[in-house]
Amino acid sequence: MASRTLTVGVVQQRCGERRDENLAAGVAGIREAARRGARLVLLPELHALRYFCQTEDPALFDLAEPVPGPTTEALARVAAELHVVLVASVFERRAPGLHHNTAAVLDADGRLAGLYRKMHVPDDPGYYEKFYFAPGDLGFEPVPSAAGRLGVQVCWDQWYPEGARLMALRGADLLCYPTAIGWSSEDDPAEQARQREAWRTIQRAHAIANGLCVLVANRTGHEPDPSGRTDGIRFWGSSFVAGPQGEILAEAADDPAVLVAELDLGRSEEVRRIWPYLRDRRVDAYGDLARRWRD
C-alpha cells in the first residue's frame, strides 16, 4: 500500500500574563517546527493566555476576541508565510454574553479553513469553564485543510470516545487535541502519576480504536490561581504524537518543547484492514449510547 507521509509539529509552551509574549512563544515554536519540516503544527489550548478558568470572574470576559480576530489573523500571516497548516485554540467572543473555547484551523495559504468549538465543557475545581464557555454547536466535523481532514477537539473532549469515533466516521485523517491539563498540589505523587497515565492512555486508545494518528499539545509550567484560594495548577506537559496503533512517535517531558514527527497516513487503512473495528461495529445495538443513563 502506498505511503502518504505528513510531517507534523506540536508546540508545548509556558504561558504567562502577557498575551503578546505567549503568542510570540507560540510563533517561535511554529517556526522551529516548520524549519524541521512540519507541514501541520498544533498549539496548546488557549495558548495566548494564562489559563484563566481557575476562578470565576466576569472581568475576564474582556480577554475574549472574535474569530477572525487579532490572534487568528496574526497566525494566518505566519501560516501563509511558512506554508503550514496551524491549529490554534482561542477564547472566542461570538456575541455579547456568548463565548466559546474554539480551535481555529488556519490553512497553508493563511485562509481560515474552519472552526471546532469545544463540545464537552468541564466545571470542576480549578477548571470552571462552564462559567466562560457555551458548549460547541458545530458538532464533530473534520476540517478540510492542505494537511488533510483534521479531526480537531479540545482538552476535556479528549476523554470521550464518542467524539473521536464520530470524527473517524466522518472521514478524519488524524485527530488533534490542543489541551491544558495539570496537577493540583493536593494530589500526592502516586495520584499525579495515575492521572497523567490515564490521560495518555485514553488518547492512545482513540488512535487504536479508530486506526488514526493522534496529536496532543499541552502547556507546561506552574500557573497561579488568580483568586489566591489555591496553589494553582502545574501543567504536566507530556505532549505527544501517536500512530494508528497507539505507538508513541514523539513525546515531550515537562519543559517547553517542539516535537516533530513523520506520519504515514496510509497506515491507517493498512491497520484498519487487519483490525476492522469499523466493519464489526454493531450499529443496530448501540441506541442506548444516546441516553444519559440506561435505567
Closest CA to 76 of 27, 36, 13: 27
Catalytic residue among 15, 53, 155, 176: 155
Active site residue 45: yes
Residues 189 and 168: beta-carbon distance below 8 Å: no
The single residue of 118, 129, 176, 213 carrying the catalytic annotation is: 118
What is the rounded CA–CA span in Å between residue 245 and residue 261?
15
Known active-site residue 15: no
Length of the chain: 295
Pick the catalytic residue: 45, 65, 92, 129?
45
Closest alpha carbon to 102 in 154, 172, 30:
154
Q: How do beta strands 213-217 and 174-178 pair?
A: parallel
CA angle 116, 7, 42 (to 5 degrees): 30
In the annotation, is 130 catalytic? no
C-alpha cell at 40: 501541520
User: Which letter does DSSP use for residue 65 in this model?
Assistant: B
Q: Which residues are catalytic?
A: 45, 118, 155
